[in-house]
Structure 1
Amino acid sequence: MELPASFADRTRSLLGDEEYNKLADALNDEQPVSIRLNEAKLPDASFSLFHGCAGRVPWSSTGCYLDRRLTFTFDPLFHAGCYYVQEASSMFVEQALKQYVGETPAVMLDLCAAPGGKSTHARSVLPAGSLLVANEVIRNRSQILAENLTKWGHPGVVVTNNDSVDFADLEDFFDVILTDVPCSGEGMFRKDPVAVSEWSPENVDICWQRQRRIVSDIWSSLKPGGLLIYSTCTYNTKEDEENIRWIRDEFGAEILPVNVSDDWNITGNLLAGDDFPAYRFLPHRAKGEGFFLAALRKPEADSLQTRYKSAPAQGKKKVVSGVSKEQLAVARGWLLSPDDYELSVNGTNITAFPKDYLPELSSLQQSLRVIQAGVALAEVKGKDLIPSHALAMSQVLRDDIFPREEVSYEQAIAYLRKEAIVLSAEAPRGYVLLTYTNIPLGFVKNIGNRANNLYPQEWRIRSGYLPEEILILSAAGINL
């Protein structure tokens, strides 16, 4: 890889000749592959979680390195949300969340969230009863974010599609804000050759200024005493330490230490003359790509005069829909803990959302463009109540509601391609939940001679062939 001359000069000045040469050599090595497992979906007894992996990601409770890249597109468990393919260094966010959020339920914003690696990770790490708002400013990327969070399966999630400035009206709203800000992408050089060609000193300057605007936009929505996690995938101090210093000086933020182990080989603050806690991953030291993180606390006394309050009740509006009370009752009966959720109807679609956060959802809907909230349960077509794919993926579905049919690998791939499926003669008529290695894949409607495939059209596997060699995750580890 031929690195830009200006990048080489800047980074050599930052690291010194010896360290820079090691970094440059590492950028020509093979990129490590890592995944993070979804403990909510993997049965404790049937999955040996790290069998077949090349070692644990030391700063992540559920991350592991792979000896070689899996055939993710053709792995049913990937589509079922059993794991997420995530760069190892970025899993360090877990350490800041675990250290500073504690056990009290929190309201968290992941501001620049697509495609969803840190959002799915945060949702797994946050205390039970928390709410995650995952936002992405680019419309088509927000749909990818929603898909990945749907597959992850947690009900306490709202997905939004907004610019950072749109959050300014939500004063003192969030306990935690993660700003994985758009950056010049130096840490992605090994992963993405386009990042090398697009890098320039001018782009670095554009990025650090944009990053400050983003933090300024969302600062008022962080509660006094709240946690701001700032991260980038770049090396230079302009986008990293200098921005952290600016946040401290501009807003009076306290820069917090994060507990790390010496054998993780994380590099600290590289800003000369200002020693505060900061954490940088360099690929020649830590097994992963380039990453930077700092954690900051908003001053307790930094409260706005106008505090966040729930919107006053306006009285219930009569909503005309094609959903009957009986159909709502049936959909409610599908839930594992129905009393914990409020059901809402939008046209012919029924959704469940955690009752504890209805005031927050109302405020989000008034200020932001909400893509999805909670779990979609069903669509009503006439007298038919069609269970949604989100319900199949979720943690809220009762196990005893729908009959289940275990399918083979070949059937699973056919289903994920949205092809017609033929079930066994013993399979009951009506809606059936397909499983692969006892993990839900989604619904079909069995009509006897075939089963109508209810997998989302836009999520289907588009490739019509199978590679000669297929590597997938299985109960025994990695299988060919």
Structure 2
Amino acid sequence: MKLPEAFLQSIEGVKGFDRESFIKVHDEGNQVTSIRINPIKTDAHSLWDSDKEIKLAGVDQASVPTSIPWTNYGYYLPERPSFTFDPLFHAGCYYVQDASSMFLEQAMSQLADLSQPLKVLDLSAAPGGKSTHLLSILSEESLLVSNEVIRPRCNTLIDNIIKWGKSNALVTNNDPAAFKKLPGYFDVIVVDAPCSGSGLFRKDPDAITEWSLNNVALCSQRQQRILADILPALKENGLLIYSTCSYSEAEDESIADWLVNEFEMKNERISLNDEWGIVESVSPGHGAFGYRFYPNKVKGEGFFISCFRKVNEEKEVGGKLPRIDTASSKEKLILKDWLKSDSLEILKDHDTFRALPAIFINDFIRLRGNLNIQYTGTELGQIMKGRLVPDHALALSSLLSPNVASTNLDYAEAIKYLQRKDLATIPQTKGWQTVSYKNHPLGWINALANRINNYYPKEMRILKQSNDSAFEK
């Protein structure tokens, strides 16, 4: 892998940069595979036994996973399986994510009170790595607004939020400037800023051809605009977590100095373990702490993160809240048997129903009046002729009642289901029910007298075919 000389010269002297070993690790081209488990659906012992037998389809049974030290939920895999052909992946039991990005957990756990109800914004959220991570560490009384600026990317974000199974999240599609209409609203704002992408060179060699000093300068200016637009929405004493996948000081330490200069932000320091290999840097102007991840020092890709506390006060603006439609008593009675919680507000949009924890209803109303909301809570489905036609999201949700019928599938049948093919399995009961793999719901079927209707979403079905017997586990 040929790294641009202009790039290497641009980061000479940056703390932690070792030219020789940095070039070597890129030349070797080794890929690190890591996953983060979903704690509401599984744990490490469910994915691999006490004797380290991995249950992920396609992984060598003799391989041994290792923990990522800066998160409670992350693991390095010794090899990369075909996640497409692992039903547990589609069930939302884990998320495939670079280990460096999981350091977000340290920033949140050290600098935010996770026991308290927090309003959190993930500004550039697609495809959903940081949002699903936040949902795993935030309290049930916390609300996550997962925003994506680029509309087509919202669909992938929504799919991953649905897989994660939590209902305390909204997906929005807004430019950062739109959040100025919510002054002083968020306790935490996470800005994983668009950048020149040098931290991804090893993972995505095509990023090398797109890198230039001019692009670094343009990205730095864009990052400043984004931060200037979003900061009014942060509460006094609120936490800003800023990150990039760039090694360039102009996008990292210089932005930290700019935040202190322009907005009087107070930089926050994160405690590190020396064994982690993470490099603590200090900005040249104000001595702001940042944290650099080099692939020759950590098992992960290039990453930078820095955290700030807002000093200036922003006054929340009230105003009249718009009206919303909610389910009638009769409709709630139809939905009751499908849900295990009664502390929900059931929102109605024509014949479609969505569940949101009742404590967030005023937040939802306010957010709907100011933002372009793409997805809310958990979609339950539609009521037709007095009966619920359940939505895929309900099957994967933690809201689903354990009394709803379910049929467990073996591996081969689970893959057929995910390919939206006909099933040979004969359910014990008729009607709507989930199908599961190792007791983890994958979606819905409707078992009729003479056939089974497969309701796995068409747009999510597995299109690839596999004859690899290694997956038959």
TM-score normalised by structure 1 residue count: 0.91
> Who is 2:24 aligned against?
25
State the Cα RMSD in Å.
Answer: 2.0
> Who is 1:101 aligned against?
112
1:308-360: CA deviation from partner (whole Å, max 9, x where unpaired):
33x4356677x9xxx8753432213322221x211011121111111111111
Going from structure 1 to structure 2, the CA distance change for 1:273 and 1:136 (only over 3 Å counts) comes to: closer
> SS of the residue aligned with 2:18?
helix
TM superposition shift of 1:70: 1.2
- 1:354 counterpart (352, 357, 372): 357
Query: Superposed, which structure 2 residues align to 1:44-123 within 5 Å?
Result: 46-48=46-48, 51=52, 52=54, 53-102=64-113, 103-123=115-135
> SS of the residue aligned with 1:342?
strand
> Who is 1:476 aligned against?
none
1:367 aligns with 2:374: no
Asked which structure has the greater RCO (Cα within 8 Å, sep 6+), the reply is 1
Q: How many residues align?
A: 460
Looking at structure 2, the residues matched to 134 and 279 of structure 1 have their Cα atoms a distance apart, in angstroms, of 24
> SS of the residue aligned with 2:217?
helix
AA partner of residue 453 (structure 2):
N
> SS of the residue aligned with 2:445?
strand
Looking at structure 2, the residues matched to 409 and 48 of structure 1 have their Cα atoms a distance apart, in angstroms, of 16
- 1:303 counterpart (313, 335, 355): 313
Looking at structure 2, the residues matched to 256 and 249 of structure 1 have their Cα atoms a distance apart, in angstroms, of 15
TM superposition shift of 1:469: 5.5
1:178 aligns with 2:190: yes
Looking at structure 2, the residues matched to 327 and 283 of structure 1 have their Cα atoms a distance apart, in angstroms, of 54
Looking at structure 2, the residues matched to 190 and 46 of structure 1 have their Cα atoms a distance apart, in angstroms, of 31
AA partner of residue 393 (structure 1):
L
> SS of the residue aligned with 1:330?
helix
2:395–2:444: 8 Å Cα contact kept in structure 1?
yes
Looking at structure 2, the residues matched to 315 and 76 of structure 1 have their Cα atoms a distance apart, in angstroms, of 41
Looking at structure 1, the residues matched to 316 and 339 of structure 2 have their Cα atoms a distance apart, in angstroms, of 35
TM superposition shift of 1:43: 6.1
- 1:291 counterpart (303, 315, 333): 303
2:354–2:379: 8 Å Cα contact kept in structure 1?
yes
TM superposition shift of 1:470: 4.2
1:411 aligns with 2:423: no
AA partner of residue 297 (structure 2):
R
Going from structure 1 to structure 2, the CA distance change for 1:286 and 1:324 (only over 3 Å counts) comes to: same
Query: Superposed, which structure 2 residues align to 1:214-293 within 5 Å?
Result: 214-269=226-281, 271-272=283-284, 274-293=286-305
> Structure 2: which 5+ residue stretches go unaligned?
55-63
AA partner of residue 20 (structure 2):
N
> Who is 2:59 aligned against?
none
Looking at structure 2, the residues matched to 445 and 279 of structure 1 have their Cα atoms a distance apart, in angstroms, of 51
TM-score normalised by structure 2 residue count: 0.93
1:27–1:190: 8 Å Cα contact kept in structure 2?
yes
AA partner of residue 361 (structure 2):
L
Going from structure 1 to structure 2, the CA distance change for 1:31 and 1:314 (only over 3 Å counts) comes to: closer
> Structure 1: which 5+ residue stretches go unaligned?
472-478
TM superposition shift of 1:46: 4.5
Going from structure 1 to structure 2, the CA distance change for 1:44 and 1:62 (only over 3 Å counts) comes to: closer
> SS of the residue aligned with 2:353?
strand
1:4–1:196: 8 Å Cα contact kept in structure 2?
yes
> Who is 1:212 aligned against?
224
Looking at structure 1, the residues matched to 340 and 7 of structure 2 have their Cα atoms a distance apart, in angstroms, of 54
> SS of the residue aligned with 2:167?
coil
> Who is 2:58 aligned against?
none
AA partner of residue 412 (structure 1):
A
TM superposition shift of 1:423: 3.0
1:360-405: CA deviation from partner (whole Å, max 9, x where unpaired):
11121111110101001121233431111101111111111x1111
Between 113-122 and 454-463, report the one with greater CA deviation.
454-463
> Who is 1:475 aligned against?
none
1:395 aligns with 2:402: no
> Who is 2:12 aligned against?
12
Looking at structure 1, the residues matched to 337 and 275 of structure 2 have their Cα atoms a distance apart, in angstroms, of 50
Going from structure 1 to structure 2, the CA distance change for 1:36 and 1:315 (only over 3 Å counts) comes to: closer
> Who is 2:330 aligned against?
326
2:191–2:243: 8 Å Cα contact kept in structure 1?
yes
1:70–1:470: 8 Å Cα contact kept in structure 2?
no
2:322–2:369: 8 Å Cα contact kept in structure 1?
no
AA partner of residue 312 (structure 1):
K
> Who is 1:441 aligned against?
442
> SS of the residue aligned with 2:181?
coil
2:147–2:172: 8 Å Cα contact kept in structure 1?
yes
Looking at structure 2, the residues matched to 69 and 197 of structure 1 have their Cα atoms a distance apart, in angstroms, of 26
1:74–1:470: 8 Å Cα contact kept in structure 2?
no
1:379 aligns with 2:390: no
